[in-house]
Amino acid sequence: MKRVYAREEVCVGCKLCEVYCAAAHSEYPKDIVKAYLKQKTKPVPRILVEDNLSISFALQCRHCDEAPCTKACITGAMQKDLVTGIVRNDEDRCVGCWTCILACPFGAIRRDNQGHKVASKCDLCSSGADDLDAPSVPVCVQNCPNRALQFMDSILGEEE
Ligand code: SF4
Ligand code: SF4
C-alpha cells in the first residue's frame, strides 16, 4: 500500500502540512480560513511536525501491517481496513481512553479533547485512498512546498 514518508533532509519545518491536514479534517475541508476562523473548535491536525534548531520532520501514522493500536483498542474503534490497509479510528465508538496512544510505537496518535474526546490520527485523507488502483494523494503531501513528504509504496531498504 502507499504510505506517507517524511524526508527530514529537506523539511523546512514550516508546518504547512499541519495546517492543510487540520483544515481537510474540519467542517470546512476546502477552506483553510473558514476552518480556523468559523469552526467552533480549533481544527486538530493528524500530522505533527517535530523540530528543534537543526532538524525537523513530519510525523504521522505508518498504517502498520500488524497495527498495535488496533489490538490495544478497548472498544474496537481503531480498525485496519483489510482491503486498503488504512488504519482508521471510528470516532463514534472511541471513548477517549488513550490506550491506543500508549500502544503506538511511533507516537502517531493525538488526543482531540475538544467536545467528545477522541483519538485523532492520519486516515490518508481516506475516501479517495479507498481506490486501490488510484489512491488520492493526501493533502499534506500535495501541499508540502519542499516535497519533504512523499506518497509511495515503500522507501529504499524497507520491504513492502
Ligand atoms: S497509529 Fe501507530 S500503531 Fe497504529 S497503525 Fe499508525 S503507526 Fe501503527
Ligand atoms: S482512545 Fe479510542 S481508539 Fe484509542 S483505545 Fe481508547 S477507545 Fe480505542
Question: By the 8 A CB rule, do 128 and 136 touch?
Answer: yes
| Residue positions counted in the chain | 160
As for ligand 2, residues whose beta carbon falls within 6 Å of it are: 72-75, 77-78, 89, 94-100, 119
Question: By the 8 A CB rule, do 4 and 149 touch?
Answer: yes
CB-CB neighbours of 150 under 10 Å = 15
CA atoms of 3 and 64, how far apart (whole Å): 10
Q: How confident is the model at residue 81 (pLDDT cuts 50, 70, 90)?
A: very high
The pTM of this model reads 0.87
- pLDDT tens digits, 8-66: 999 999 999 999 999 999 999 999 999 999 998 889 999 999 988 788 999 999 999 99
Q: Which ligand is nearest to the CA of 78?
A: 2
Question: Over the chain, what is the mean pLDDT?
Answer: 90
For residue 79, report the distance from its CA to the centre of ligand 2, in Å: 10
Atom of ligand 2 nearest to the CA of 99: 5
Q: Which ligand is nearest to the CA of 95?
A: 2
